[in-house]
């Protein structure tokens, strides 16, 4: 009897984001003579939320993406596409900063296809002060909070350890790990800003996937390790990593390189192909997918990264109750406002040297409830090559969480830029006299799968999807799970493993990012 792999020839991959492109690349590189791979991408951009957008020589990383994983399979895949730098990048060279270098690696001043090693700095903006992200017990943190607040936080934490709350929502999840005081300061407002829902109305699953073992105890352990000069043991949390890799021109550069490899191996990438129909036979096998433009593609297997809500809509037959679960799955969208400025009012009080002595942050999380702004990216610090004139200008990305079709989503770009600039002035990031030199706005749909409404019934939807033996659901939106880039890639790896191995059990694919360890822990090599 022939293997399942021998029967599956035409593979349709829906979506050209990290999961979809990884799946296509793996199929063609591991079994080049066995599969015809066609990737259908709804938009005109490669990389999904991990794409890079260029505007007048300045590049935006949509969402911000650290390349760091505990999964050697992921690290090796990245390294094969983008070798690590063997010479100093522009800013490190100018400033005389040390940087890990790979023997024989390319020079980023001469070669574009190169991965940089970057210093991670992320902080929280709260009460017009900067705190470490994640919250640490540094001297600066204690000084910013003051003795009264520090004692209040400490007693709250001790109380939370004694009186554990049932973790039936995200609020209780946070309180159990940080105490109510720290929760109110650093988690409550930001979480509601991000999701548009109070944490008590959100499943604790989100916390278990994004925060996991991070807690006051983890913070103390990390502080002690730093104070004693000891390296953190296996199991350190992702948020505590100190360096990460990053493509010279942002994450989209890597995915565009991967697409070139896919095409070179015979894969087909079709842009502007929005999948609207999925046909099945009597046994539940998918036989074809169709697009909005009327085109149809026969399929022996389908690897879908499209949102589960849209996938359910596309099926020719689906039980009413299952369709209702999919239709009720919520998402959060966001808008990124790119601003080009000549200076920031924020002072660099760290010992990290930067071009123009700007603050060294990659991200600044804005916990201040008086502004709508959720997060600031400083693209100069991700890579100097993201900015056309990195010694003269600062290119920042302002992330606003919203819902598609709401007032902020529909705001005119010029009004949105004025709104964002005014918020930065109130925060003390820009001076009242500062005017942006340039700007660019990007809308991102379904950026964050949310953990409320019908999410509590998602297992019923998954069970029905798994009745289709040649369907694989991959990636962040394909699984309705807040996956990082490496998580999404792992779903693709496992799916290809299953396809080649002839198994119809999808548990390994669905179980990515459900474990207690995070894929980007500090001990990863």
Q: What is the pTM of this model?
A: 0.90
The mean pLDDT of 84-103, rounded to a whole number, is: 97
- What is the β-pairing status of strands 375-378 and 363-366? antiparallel
Predicted local confidence at residue 229, as pLDDT: 55
113 belongs to a structural domain: no
| H or E element, residue 268 | strand 268-271
395 belongs to a structural domain: yes
- What is the β-pairing status of strands 296-298 and 286-291? antiparallel
97 belongs to a structural domain: no
Q: What is the pLDDT of residues 118-136, one digit of tens each?
A: 999 999 988 888 888 766 6
Q: Are 372 and 399 in contact (CB under 8 A)?
A: no
Do residues 362 and 411 share a domain?
Answer: yes
Predicted local confidence at residue 425, as pLDDT: 96
CATH number at residue 418: 3.90.660.10
Q: What is the pLDDT of residues 322-381, one digit of tens each?
A: 999 999 999 999 999 999 999 999 999 889 999 999 999 999 999 888 899 999 999 999
Q: What does DSSP assign to residue 201?
A: G
CA-based torsion, 381, 384, 385, 387: positive or negative: positive
Q: What is the pLDDT of residues 63-72, one digit of tens each?
A: 899 999 999 9
The structure tokens 């209780």 sit at 172
Instruction: Tell whether the model's pLDDT for residue 145 goes beyond 70.
Output: yes
The mean pLDDT of 399-407, rounded to a whole number, is: 97
* Of 56, 92, 135, 157, the residue nearest 360 (C-alpha): 92
Alpha-carbon distance of 192 to 207, in angstroms, equals: 13
CA-based torsion, 211, 215, 220, 225: positive or negative: negative
Which residues have CB under 8 Å from 129's CB, separation 6+? Answer: 144
Predicted local confidence at residue 156, as pLDDT: 83
Confidence of residue 298 (pLDDT cuts 50, 70, 90): very high
70 belongs to a structural domain: no
The mean pLDDT of 25-32, rounded to a whole number, is: 95
Instruction: Tell whether the model's pLDDT for residue 204 goes beyond 90.
Output: no
Instruction: Tell whether the model's pLDDT for residue 235 goes beyond 50.
Output: no
Do residues 354 and 439 share a domain?
Answer: yes
Could you list the residue range(s) of the whole structural domain that residue 490 is in?
4-49+251-329+455-510
User: Tokens standing for 142?
Assistant: 């204690």
Do residues 325 and 337 share a domain?
Answer: no
Instruction: Tell whether the model's pLDDT for residue 221 goes beyond 90.
Output: no
Do residues 179 and 318 share a domain?
Answer: no
Do residues 431 and 371 share a domain?
Answer: yes
Confidence of residue 82 (pLDDT cuts 50, 70, 90): very high
Q: How far is CA 298 from CA 171, 267, 293, 313, in A?
A: 47, 15, 15, 19
Q: How far is CA 150 from CA 127, 141, 369, in A?
A: 15, 9, 21
Confidence of residue 154 (pLDDT cuts 50, 70, 90): confident
Give percent of the chain with pLDDT exceeding 70.
89
Predicted local confidence at residue 388, as pLDDT: 98
């Amino acid at each position: 009897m022939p293997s399942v792999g021998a029967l599956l020839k035409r593979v349709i991959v829906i979506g050209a984001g990290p999961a979809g492109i990884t799946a296509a690349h793996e199929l063609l590189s591991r079994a080049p003579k066995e599969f015809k791979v066609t990737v259908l991408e709804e938009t005109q951009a490669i990389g999904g939320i991990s794409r890079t957008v260029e505007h007048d020589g300045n590049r935006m990383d949509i969402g911000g993406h650290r390349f760091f994983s505990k999964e050697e399979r992921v690290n090796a895949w990245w390294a094969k596409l983008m070798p690590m730098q063997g010479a100093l990048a522009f800013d490190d060279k100018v400033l005389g900063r040390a940087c890990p270098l790979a023997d024989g690696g390319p020079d980023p001043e001469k070669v574009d296809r190169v991965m940089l090693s970057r210093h991670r700095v992320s902080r929280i903006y709260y009460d017009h002060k900067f705190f470490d992200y994640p919250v640490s017990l540094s001297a600066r943190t204690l000084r910013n909070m003051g003795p009264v607040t520090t004692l209040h936080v400490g007693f709250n934490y001790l109380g939370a350890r004694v009186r554990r709350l049932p973790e039936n929502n995200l609020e209780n999840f946070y309180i159990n790990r940080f105490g109510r005081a720290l929760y109110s300061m650093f988690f409550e407002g930001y979480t509601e800003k991000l999701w548009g829902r109070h944490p008590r109305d959100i499943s604790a699953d989100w916390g278990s996937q994004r925060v996991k073992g991070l807690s006051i105890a983890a913070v103390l352990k990390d502080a002690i390790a730093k104070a004693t000069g000891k390296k953190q043991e296996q199991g350190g949390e992702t948020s505590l990593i100190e360096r990460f890799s990053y493509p010279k021109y942002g994450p989209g550069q890597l995915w565009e390189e991967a697409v070139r490899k896919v095409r070179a191996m015979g894969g087909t990438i079709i842009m502007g192909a929005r999948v609207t129909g999925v046909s099945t036979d009597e046994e539940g096998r998918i036989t074809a997918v169709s697009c909005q433009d009327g085109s149809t593609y026969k399929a022996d297997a389908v690897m879908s990264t499209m949102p589960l809500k849209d996938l359910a809509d596309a099926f020719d037959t689906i039980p009413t109750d299952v369709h209702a679960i999919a239709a009720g799955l919520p998402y959060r969208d966001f808008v990124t406002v790119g601003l080009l400025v000549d200076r920031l009012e924020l002072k660099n009080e760290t010992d990290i040297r930067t071009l123009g002595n700007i603050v060294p942050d990659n991200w600044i999380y804005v916990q201040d409830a008086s502004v709508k702004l959720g997060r600031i990216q400083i693209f100069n610090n991700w890579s100097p090559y993201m900015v056309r004139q990195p010694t003269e200008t600062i290119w920042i990305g302002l992330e606003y969480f919203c819902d598609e079709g709401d007032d902020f989503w529909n705001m005119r770009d010029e009004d949105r830029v004025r709104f964002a600039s005014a918020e930065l002035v109130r925060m003390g990031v820009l001076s009242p006299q500062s005017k942006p030199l340039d700007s660019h706005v990007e809308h991102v749909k379904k950026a964050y799968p949310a953990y409320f409404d019908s999410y509590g019934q998602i297992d019923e939807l998954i069970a029905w999807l798994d009745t289709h033996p040649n369907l694989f659901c991959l990636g962040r939106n394909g699984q309705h799970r807040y996956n990082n880039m490496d998580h999404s890639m792992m779903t693709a790896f496992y799916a290809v493993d299953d396809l080649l191995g002839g198994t119809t059990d999808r548990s390994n694919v669905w179980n990515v990012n459900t474990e207690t360890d995070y894929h980007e822990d500090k001990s990863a090599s």
